Amino acid sequence: QMRLVESGGGLVQPGGSLRLSCAASGRSFANFAIGWFRQTPGKEREFLAATRWTGGGPYYTDSMKARFTISKDRAQGTVHLQMNSLTPEDTAVYYCAAGSGLIVGRIRSEDAYTYWGQGTQVTVSS
């Protein structure tokens, strides 16, 4: 069993940046793909970015690629999402997720991920 914990969310002004972190306990990220998603009330969960812990990726939603960067910290065993030039439309709950055996064609699908964190709130407002 894997437990995921996100951190780094909060309130930021428009144009600002945040770096979210995802840490795993119970199992390591080895052989997993790790994805970042977000959700706002009344909308479906949206894929943002993903990477494979042992090679492959990163993968992005095209609309986020210019502003968001996913990275791995092997020493800390964490995955980060760097978010720049934030706008109020980026306000959402952000989730990290992990899934094993994901093929490239499924890596953007939330149904392909087995483990999910509890989410961290990001609010972009002046």
Query: Element (H or E) spanning 66, and its range?
Result: none
From the number of C-beta atoms within 10 Å of its C-beta (0-12, 13-18, 19+), residue 45 rates as middle
Distance of CA 10 to the CA centre of its chain: 15
Q: Is the pLDDT of residue 73 over 90?
A: yes
Q: Examine the pLDDT at 72 and tell me if it is beyond 90.
A: yes
Q: Judge whether residue 6 has pLDDT over 90.
A: yes
Task: Find residue 83's DSSP bridge partners.
Answer: 18, 68
Radius of gyration over every alpha carbon of the chain, rounded to an integer in angstroms: 14
- 101 pLDDT above the threshold of 90: no
Percent of the chain with pLDDT over 70: 100
Band (111; pLDDT cuts 50, 70, 90): very high
Backbone angles phi, psi at 37, to 5 degrees: -130, 165
Chain centroid, CA 35 distance in Å = 5
